[in-house]
Amino acid sequence: MRRVTFEQAWQRWRDQREAELRSPEGFLAITGLHWLGPRPQRFHGIPGIWSNGPEGAVVDLGDGEWLELGGTRLSGRYVFGHVDPFGVIATFDSGTVEVADRFGTPVLRPRQPDGPFLRDYTGTPTYAPDPAWRIVADFTAYETSRPISVGSVVEGRSSVIDAVGEVAFEAAGRPQRLIAFDGGDNELWLLFTDESSGVTTYAACRQLAVEQPVDGKAVLDFNRAANMPCAYTIHATCPLPPATNHIDVLVEAGEKTPPRPPAD
């Protein structure tokens, strides 16, 4: 069996990451962010009149208007209800619309395969892969998960995320400690800033998926540090890391700040 080198494995990750970014269903295809309220509203390019009430998110589709959800064509009045943060995706003749919860309020995020952020995307620059940035950390799990309130790129909004423990390690000879969140799929999820943030990497933060720790050890491969959606589009609602999740050295690994052209 052919051995996959460190560089080859990293390149596979990069190729997959770029494919996700260029997907016509991905977050770069989002063309708007609309918050639903009690007053029925129509939004440009999305079928129906939308509102949020005791039943949750509701759409009233007029004559000739339709949405398709899970293989079923919707018409007339449809109650999406109290959707969760992962939301649902409905399709229509010229695109899709995501109906999801953000900070306790339902939102609509339409996607178009020719949206300006996706259309003008030219790729994400990265640091060259360096095995020195693949660091083994000590993981200390909390006895029970701890809900932690974190800020958001949306002014005045915050999120509560379940922290499951902490990772401790050395970077450039300096001790570091980060709070780790539940990333699902038996992974940890790190949100962090470092001394490169706002210089060569995206200012708000980067993220890192970490495989499930084994015997109290977690492998932090900062070569796979990735940008959050808010690095690419104004239609994102990304959480921010806790203030303590700052690495006080230059983490010259992973994705750099991408070019982000203005939306039309």
Tens of pLDDT, residues 52-74: 999 999 999 999 999 999 999 99
- Band of the pLDDT at 261, cuts 50, 70, 90? low
Note the helical H segments in the chain: 6-21, 116-119
The mean pLDDT of the chain is 94
pLDDT of residue 185: 86
pLDDT of residue 52: 97
Residue 262 has pLDDT above 70, yes or no: no
Q: Tens digits of per-residue pLDDT, 154-202?
A: 988 998 999 999 999 999 999 999 999 999 888 999 999 999 999 999 9
Distance in angstroms (rounded) separating the CA atoms of residues 197 and 203: 4
Residue 264 has pLDDT above 70, yes or no: no
pLDDT of residue 184: 87
Phi-psi region of 114 (alpha: psi -120 to 50; beta: other; left: phi over 0): alpha
Q: Give the up-direction half-sphere exposure of residue 105: CA atoms within 13 A in the CB hemisphere.
A: 15
